[in-house]
A and B are shown apart, each in its own frame.
Chain A
């Protein structure tokens, strides 16, 4: 298996806050990797550093063997990265269908000239409808964003990311805010997409689902990588349990 994403020595400080300190990991082609850790561990910052939303003090990031450090956000996205936001950010002026259709038309809007010379949105809307159907929100497509429950908006984020036809899907807590059944169903959809060949990196606090779907884990705590590997084995490590359950547990064990 080849390396799709190679992240080396990412260090990111916000003033005195050390969000990430010298974190390295690799994502293999076709893998389902979950990035876990307690709140404030630096998981979201890591995804943002990969997509270019934040600029770390130091980082080497390669996608498919090509360095993407220094590229602007939209160019990184064009190389095949799609990210969903932890806090949903739909375009509130568009209905659900057009939110996804815009992303599906990413080739049409690649240059201003192409965008101004094409009008027809039929093919992209059809594709958007298919994606929304796949995520189980196909009957809401013509509705406005206002008043949609979080469960729908969370899935909309995933549909919009998939519409970009990425090589690498970065998911920031896609299951947060969903109920039990919705979470399991969305996790199943993501697993299915992963089986079809899409590489997935997911941040998630729902450990039940994480252990059920992930092929491998990377654990962050306080901006440092503390563990990496097979989910069951990683979760048995005392330092991972301590990071999650709290320091008292570690003390009690000692």
Chain B
């Protein structure tokens, strides 16, 4: 693998961690978020500031996870009163609020100019890929475990019909906050890795377009499905890299993919996969 391929693989891994976080909030618990990039940014800026202050990388990454998860709980608490479209608008607002704050803080956070000169994590590119890959494995394993546990069961109930869930003793608010905390903590981890990877971060990296891109990855892959989200993220990250045309019209491409999925296969790639297996299985039975 050359440097370029290594870098691509790392970016794919970081995006998968980011998308798995959104999948916990939107896919598992049914809470739409259009501000996921803000938590990605919180993780990145936490690492940026702490690493420049000389803290060891493990401490910085850990702090990024905690910081994003903590602010995720605060935003989640504020979001408990709103649902559906209103939640989408609220989380979108959180994204813009985050950008606004970053842009104004020229001293600590570098303002429009961003943060540069971030120290290295202490590994070369292949080593970094291993770390990013471990992060993917851990987040996937956690997601899959949650889905199997009673927590995933309760999330499913909250996502499908929260009023009925309440009548069945489910503490809907507690589960929503948990989903926000876990999902945003994963975004914080992704942000921390991203910051160490590029070693230069700017407010625009964490804007609304990033939020929409992550949402596209989750939706195209299949909302709620871990393998689907991994495939969707890899696809939407790599395709624009393979073709200059797609790269130039990246957002148009994402938009078209999102539209195509919503119109023709609302369950995404995961749903198509399940259907193919079913048809194939039925044919097998017929023989």
The chain A residues found within 8 Å of chain B, CB to CB, are 51, 53, 72-74, 77-78, 82-83, 85, 89, 91-94, 98, 102-103, 105-106, 108-112, 114-119, 121, 160, 164
Contacts and interface: CB of A to CB of B under 8 A. Distances in A.
Contacts of A89: 161, 163-164
A112 B160 contact: no
Interface stretch (B33-41, B131-139, B147-155): B147-155
A85 B164 CA distance: 9
A145 to B, nearest CB: 10
Contact of A112 (B148, B166, B169, B175): B175
Interface in B144-180: 145-146, 148-151, 153-154, 156-157, 159-161, 163-164, 166-172, 174-175, 178
Given A109-B150, A110-B169, A111-B171, 19 more contacts: A74-B166, A77-B167, A82-B167, A83-B167, A89-B161, A89-B164, A91-B156, A91-B160, A93-B159, A94-B156, A102-B157, A105-B153, A109-B151, A112-B151, A112-B175, A112-B178, A114-B150, A117-B149, A119-B150
Interface string B162-204: 0110111111101100100000000000000000000000000
A73 B167 contact: yes
Nearest to A79: B169
A151 B206 CA distance: 51
Given A74-B171, A102-B168, A109 B154 contact: yes
A82 B164 CA distance: 11
Ranked nearest first, the 10 interchain pairs of A and B with the lowest CB-CB distance are A73-B166, A115-B151, A115-B150, A116-B151, A77-B169, A109-B154, A91-B160, A106-B169, A108-B150, A89-B164
A93 B159 CA distance: 9
17 contacts: A74-B169, A89-B161, A91-B164, A93-B160, A102-B157, A105-B150, A106-B169, A109-B150, A109-B151, A109-B153, A109-B170, A110-B169, A112-B174, A115-B153, A118-B149, A118-B150, A119-B148
B149 A115 contact: yes
Contacts of A117: 149
Contacts of B168: 77, 102-103, 106, 160, 164
A115 B166 contact: no
Given A74-B172, A89-B161, A102 B167 contact: no
Contacts of A72: 166
Interface centre among A74, A114, A119, A164 (most CB of B within 10 A): A74
A131 B153 CA distance: 19
Given A93-B156, A102-B153, A103-B168, A116 B146 contact: yes
B278 to A, nearest CB: 13
Contacts of A73: 166-167
A165 to B, nearest CB: 10
Main secondary structure of the interface of B (DSSP, over half): helix
Contacts of B154: 102, 109, 115
Interface of B: 145-146, 148-151, 153-154, 156-157, 159-161, 163-164, 166-172, 174-175, 178
B149 A78 contact: no
Contacts of B150: 105, 108-109, 114-116, 118-119, 121
Contact of A51 (B151, B156, B167, B174): B167
Contacts of B153: 98, 102, 105, 109, 115, 121
B177 to A, nearest CB: 8
A94 B165 CA distance: 13
A117 B170 CA distance: 16
A191 B164 CA distance: 25
Contacts of A91: 156-157, 160-161, 164
A50 B159 CA distance: 25
Given A89-B161, A102-B157, A116 B166 contact: no
Contacts of B160: 91-94
A93 B167 CA distance: 18
A101 B156 CA distance: 13
Given A74-B172, A91-B156, A102-B154, A116 B164 contact: no
Contacts of A51: 167
Contacts of B151: 109, 112, 115-116
Contacts of B146: 116
Interface centre among B151, B169, B178 (most CB of A within 10 A): B169
Interface centre among A77, A85, A112 (most CB of B within 10 A): A112
A47 to B, nearest CB: 11
A103 B165 CA distance: 9
A228 to B, nearest CB: 27
A15 to B, nearest CB: 21
Interface centre among A78, A83, A115, A164 (most CB of B within 10 A): A115
Interface centre among B161, B167, B172 (most CB of A within 10 A): B167
B76 to A, nearest CB: 13
A160 B168 CA distance: 8
